[in-house]
Every structure is written in C-alpha cells, then in structure tokens.
C-alpha cells in the first residue's frame, strides 16, 4: 500500500515483508479512524508544547508581579494585633530599618503612594498638646533643585560670616571649590533621589507652652515611624540628612518652607531607590548597643 499523506517518508527504503504488512495494517487503521488520530495528536501536541509554554509565561508574569509588588503598598497584616506573630512582624520591621546613602542609590523612581504610606505612619507618633508638632514638606524633582540652588545662593551671600560645609572657613578659592562640588551634586549625588521631605518642628503657641525639647522629640518619633514604614518596601533607600546647617537654619530656608518664626527645620528625609538585595552590614550587640540598668 502506498503511504498516505499523513506522516510517512515517501523515499523510505523497501521494508522486509513482515514489517511492510504491519505498516499496511497500521495505515488501514489510521485511515478508518483518521478523526480520532488527529484529535489524539492534537491533544498530544498541546500537552507537549502549548501547556509548558503557557506555564512558563505564567511563571514569568508571576515573577514580574512579585518584583512590582516589592515597591507597592503592603497588603496589611492578618494576624491579631497582640499575637506573637504580629509582635515579630513589628520587630522585624524595626530591625530592617536602616540608612541607605547616595552611593547605593539606583536610578528608579519611587511612587508617591509609598510616601503617603510613610507619612501616615508618621502621623501615629506620640505627642503632647492639642496638635502634633511636626510638619513635612515633600519636595519632588523640581522643588529639590530649587531648594539646592537657594542653599548655594545663601552661601554665596554669607560664606565669609558663616563658613560652609558645617562651619568650615577658608579662602575665597577654597569656598568656590566647595561650591562647584556642591553644585555638581544637584545632578550627581542627589540626581537619583525621588523625594526630599523637609522635617519641620512646629512651635506651639499659647499661654501654656510645651517644652521645645518635647516637640523636637515627638517630631523625631514621627520621622522614626516614617523610616520604619519604609522598611516594608524592599528596594527603598532612606536616611535623615541634617543638610547644610547654616542654610538649614536661615531665614531663606524658613521662607522657602513657609515656616513661622519659632519653627525649626530639622533637616531632610531623603527617599530614593536601591538594589533590594543590598547587603546590610550593620551589627547590634547587647553588650555594646544596649545600655540599661534594671532596679527592683
């Protein structure tokens, strides 16, 4: 019997008689049940090629979603607020809080939703009095550049009286060398930063005033809450910068941030992105990092 048009080689060499007979029987069976054979072949091809390809596609998409979720808002805890599991989650976040500086920053934008989540955490810090003593001014890309140029303009006008770089003093050429380096940092050191959050302590008015140190401490607690919340987002790089002290404490900065006369700028909370797998080289030892005395 001549081979049909399904899947046998036309140029095959002659077969022994008994094999030729077997092939003929098989081909007769295929001809009689062509539909069933084709369906079986179709299912086989699907199982062999389509399903694994679809599975790989799903796995790739799952990996992509996982990477995107790393920089999204946390879904919320399911354990009870007083359960051991919940307590460990809080301690893990506290332990994960760390400062990540510009040398480890990468060029990836941080979403505003993450900043809002951090600010909500700051809102729950403790404070005395009728209103919280903190105020935050979130500077995006353009506002960051404006603030840095204002900082340089302040030092241009006052470097002989206040110095620069934390009070350093010297010749005019030394100042302009520092100035050039600082100006280059606008697009260099700070170029990969997504947000600078100005940290302002609001001095409360009224006949009964809360001590200033308490208001500064409460503001610092709010910043710590923000920093702890940042640890919920792998690949988020934050730290508290004291900024250039003379410019930070100047009336120019107060005007830029819309501060009242007794308010204080405590620096800027820097928010950028980093490698989620960035090594944490910090250590904590009870003997050197915990100074405590127990008394009955």
Spell out a b/e string for 243-262, using b for 16 or more CB atoms within 10 Å of the CB, else e: bbebbbebebbbebbebeee
> Phi, psi (5° rounding) for residue 240?
-95, 115
Cα–Cα distance measured from residue 211 to residue 287, given in angstroms and rounded to the nearest whole number:
33
Whole-angstrom Cα distance, residue 67 to residue 73? 13
How much is the pTM? 0.71
Residue 97 lies in a domain: yes
- Tell me the residue range of the domain where 125 lies: 90-143+192-277
Residue 240, classed as helix, strand or coil, is strand
Tell me if 196 is assigned to some domain.
yes
Please give the pLDDT value at position 77.
Answer: 42
pLDDT digits (tens, 9 = 90+) for 1-27: 444 443 333 344 454 555 556 556 555
Q: Any idea what the CATH number is for the domain that residue 214 is in?
A: 3.40.109.10
Residue 6 maps to a domain? no
Asked if the model's pLDDT at residue 37 lies above 80, the reply is no
| 3-class state of residue 239 by DSSP | strand
Query: Which residues lie closer than 8 Å to 118 by C-beta, 6 or more apart?
Result: 226, 229, 230, 271
Render pLDDT for 83-120 as a digit per residue (tens, 0 to 9): 656 655 788 889 999 999 999 999 999 999 999 999 99
- Is residue 175 in some structural domain? no
Select from 167, 158, 190 the least CA-distant residue to 270. 190
* Overall domain count for the chain: 1
C-beta of residue 236 within 8 angstroms of C-beta of residue 230: yes
What's the CA gap between 91 and 203, in Å, rounded? 32
């Amino acid at each position: 019997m001549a081979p049909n048009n399904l899947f046998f080689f036309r140029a095959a060499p002659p077969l022994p008689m008994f094999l030729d007979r077997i092939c003929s029987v098989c081909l007769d069976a295929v001809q009689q049940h062509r539909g069933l054979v084709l369906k079986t072949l179709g299912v086989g091809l699907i199982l062999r090629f389509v399903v694994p390809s679809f599975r790989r596609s799903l796995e790739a998409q799952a990996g992509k979603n996982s990477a995107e979720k790393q920089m999204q808002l946390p879904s919320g805890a399911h354990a009870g607020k007083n359960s051991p599991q919940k307590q460990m989650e809080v301690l893990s976040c506290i332990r994960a809080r760390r400062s990540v500086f510009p040398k480890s920053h990468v060029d990836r934008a941080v979403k505003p939703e993450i900043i809002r989540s951090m600010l909500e955490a700051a809102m729950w810090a403790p404070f005395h009095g009728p209103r919280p003593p903190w105020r935050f001014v979130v500077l995006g890309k353009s506002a960051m550049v404006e603030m840095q140029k204002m900082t340089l303009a302040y030092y241009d006008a006052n470097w002989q009286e206040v110095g620069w770089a934390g009070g350093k003093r010297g010749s005019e050429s030394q100042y302009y060398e520092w100035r050039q380096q600082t100006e280059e940092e606008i697009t260099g050191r700070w170029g990969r930063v997504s947000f600078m959050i100005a940290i302002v302590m609001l001095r409360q008015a009224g006949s009964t005033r809360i001590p200033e140190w308490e208001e500064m401490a409460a503001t610092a607690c709010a910043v710590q809450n923000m920093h702890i919340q940042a640890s919920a987002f792998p690949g988020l790089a934050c730290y508290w910068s004291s900024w250039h002290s003379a410019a930070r404490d100047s009336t120019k900065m107060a005007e830029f941030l819309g501060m009242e006369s007794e308010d204080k700028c405590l620096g800027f909370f820097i928010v950028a992105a980093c490698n989620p797998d960035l090594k944490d080289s910090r250590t904590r030892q009870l003997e050197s990092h915990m100074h405590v005395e127990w008394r009955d």
